[in-house]
Amino acid sequence: MRGLRGMRVRLSFEKGPEVRFISHLDTHRTFARALRRAGLPVAFTRGFNPHPKIAFAQPLAVGATSSSDILDVELESRIDPAELLRRLNSSLPGGFEVTGAKEIPQDAPSAMSEVAASEYEARAPITGGGDPQGAALRLLGSPVVIVPARGGDDRRGPRDIRPLVLRLSGKREKDAAAFEMLLRSGGGRSVRPDEVLLAVDRMGDGWLDLDAAVYHRRRLYRASDSGLEPLD
């Protein structure tokens, strides 16, 4: 009967450059501590080692920033979402800011299960004479785009990412290339922005400094009858 007295709240939050190197696990811990410091009535799992009932829509890669990430929180008792937002922001460290809080139905799907796409900005220094928009158009016009595995923990091996890139555009900004991309996410079919940038780099014969690339997630989307709609 606990859920009948409580509520579920969906939070939108920003992760700024000050905390971009904090891992997803540490982000989880940061919010759990802040909720506790704020004195909010967070519900806990049962059992020997209870955990707060908080769930992120999608992990964010270390080094990336975001402007509209999603966190669902289950509460033991009701509270005005605006009051929750105020108290939580007062307890979060610099670099994190909750920008929205709204009640969702107790039986609503989890944010993680709803994610269908992610919108990103990516920027990388140009080391050669590549054309960002030309490389983006070549990628979009290719029937197959194979990228190798990157990183020691990626066991997927080479794969075709072309069906997972929904939108891509690029432009030159002085000595850097800036890209905007909408990527398939969730449901076991997803592509990372660094994989897309790797493919774009190869379209231009290695003209980007990928080690200096920076990524920003703008928004998460769910699928709807009319296409995609913001998850927040």
Q: Residue 187 has what pLDDT? A: 77
Q: Residue 156 has what pLDDT? A: 62
The b/e string for 38-70 (b: 16+ C-beta within 10 A; e otherwise) is bebebbeeeeeeeebbbbbbbebeeebbbbbbb
Q: What is the pTM of this model?
A: 0.91
Torsions phi, psi of 229, nearest 5?
Answer: -135, 150
Q: Residue 147 has what pLDDT? A: 92
Residue 220 tokens, joined? 């998460």
Q: Residue 2 has what pLDDT? A: 43
DSSP string, 112-136: HHHEEEEEEEEEEEB-SS--HHHHH
pLDDT per residue, tens digit, the chain (232 aa), is 344 579 999 999 999 999 999 999 999 999 999 999 999 999 999 888 888 999 999 999 999 999 999 999 999 999 999 999 999 999 999 999 999 999 999 999 999 999 999 999 999 999 978 899 999 999 999 999 999 876 545 556 789 999 999 999 999 998 999 999 999 998 778 999 999 999 999 887 789 999 999 999 999 999 998 899 999 8
Residue 127 tokens, joined? 């080391």
| Torsion sign across C-alpha atoms 35, 29, 156, 212 | positive
Task: Report how far residue 125's alpha carbon sits from residue 86's, in angstroms, rounded to the nearest whole number.
Answer: 39
Helix (H, G, I), strand (E, B) or coil at 167: strand
Domains and CATH numbers, the chain: 2-108 (3.30.70.580), 114-230 (3.30.2350.10)
